[in-house]
C-alpha cells in the first residue's frame, strides 16, 4: 500500500571485470538505448509545488485499513518476471547492495505535499543492476504485504531519485509508513510508492494495480494532475 488513499558479481568475475565496471557497462547500455531518460526530476523552485497541492509539515498516514507487521528478520522481496536474475532478497541481501541517501519531495493525490524528505536505502538503478531486466520488460507491478498492488512504467521506476527505502530522517522506516521496506518514486503521486514492499514483477506491458482498477490514472504525474483515469 502507498500513502495515498490508500548478489551478483560472479559473472563479472568470470568475465574478468570488476563489479564496478559491470555496473558502469550496464548503465552505459541503458543510456545508449535511451531507456530510462524520460520524466523531469529537477524542477525550478517556482515549479516545486504541483497544481492543486498544499504543503504539510507532518506526514499523513493513509492505508487500506490494515498495517502489516513485518520485522526485518521476516521481510522478503520476491523479484520475478522478465529479469535475467530472478531472486528473493532478504534483509541482509538488500543491505549488501549499494546504499544511497536521497532527499526528495512527496505529493499525495489527496492534495498534500511534503518537502525535503531524507531517505536511505537502495536506489532503483542499483537494484536494476542486480536483477538485470530483459529487453522486453517495459513495466513493473509492485505488490505489498497487505495485498495492495500498483503499476509503474520501467522508465518511472528507474528515475535517478527513486529509491527502495529502509530509513527516513535517519531512523528506520516505521510500520505506519510502510516499514521495514517501501518504494519512493517522488515524481509521481504517492500512491505509486508502495508500502510494505513484498514483490516486484517485471512485465512486457503496463497493467493496472489496485487504485488504477478503481478509477485512478495509470501513471499519476502530479504536475499534469493525472489523478483519475479520465484526466
pLDDT tens digits, one per residue of 63-106: 656 789 999 999 999 999 999 999 999 999 999 999 999 999 99
- pTM, two decimals, is 0.82
pLDDT value at residue 63: 60
C-alpha grid cell, residue 159? 528515475
C-alpha grid cell, residue 44? 525550478
**Domain around 200:** 1-6+74-226
- When divided into structural domains, the chain yields a total of 1
Residue 122 lies in a domain: yes
CA–CA separation, 5 vs 75, rounded Å? 24
| Residue in the structure block whose three cell numbers are 504536475 | 223
CA–CA separation, 189 vs 150, rounded Å? 12
C-alpha grid cell, residue 205? 506491458
Residue 159 lies in a domain: yes
The CATH number linked to 177 is 3.90.420.10
- Give me the residues of the chain with pLDDT under 50, please: 5-24, 27-34, 36-44
Residue 35 lies in a domain: no
Residue 33 lies in a domain: no
Residue 63 lies in a domain: no
Round to the nearest angstrom and report the end-to-end CA distance of the chain. 23
Amino acid at each position: 500500500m502507498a500513502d495515498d488513499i490508500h548478489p551478483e558479481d560472479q559473472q563479472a568475475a568470470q568475465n574478468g571485470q570488476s563489479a564496478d565496471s559491470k555496473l558502469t557497462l550496464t548503465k552505459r547500455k541503458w543510456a545508449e538505448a535511451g531507456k530510462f531518460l524520460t520524466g523531469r526530476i529537477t524542477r525550478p523552485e517556482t515549479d516545486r509545488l504541483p497544481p492543486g497541492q498544499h504543503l504539510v509539515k507532518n506526514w499523513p498516514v493513509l492505508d487500506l485499513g490494515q498495517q502489516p507487521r513485518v520485522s526485518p528478520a521476516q521481510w522478503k522481496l520476491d523479484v520475478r518476471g522478465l529479469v535475467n536474475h530472478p531472486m528473493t532478497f532478504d534483509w541482509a541481501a538488500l543491505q549488501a547492495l549499494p546504499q544511497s541517501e536521497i532527499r526528495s519531495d512527496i505529493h499525495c493525490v489527496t492534495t498534500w505535499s511534503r518537502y525535503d524528505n531524507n531517505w536511505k536505502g537502495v536506489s532503483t538503478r542499483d537494484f536494476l543492476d542486480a536483477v538485470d531486466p530483459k529487453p522486453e520488460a517495459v513495466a513493473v507491478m509492485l505488490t505489498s504485504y497487505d495485498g495492495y498492488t500498483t503499476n509503474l512504467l520501467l522508465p518511472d521506476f528507474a528515475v535517478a531519485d527513486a529509491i527502495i527505502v529502509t530509513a527516513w530522517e535517519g531512523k528506520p522506516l516505521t510500520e505506519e509508513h510502510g516499514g521495514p521496506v517501501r518504494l519512493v518514486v517522488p515524481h509521481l503521486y504517492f500512491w505509486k510508492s508502495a508500502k510494505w514492499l513484498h514483490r516486484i514483477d517485471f512485465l512486457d506491458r503496463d497493467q493496472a494495480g489496485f487504485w488504477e482498477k478503481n478509477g485512478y490514472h495509470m501513471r499519476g504525474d502530479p504536475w499534469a494532475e493525472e489523478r483519475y483515469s479520465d484526466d
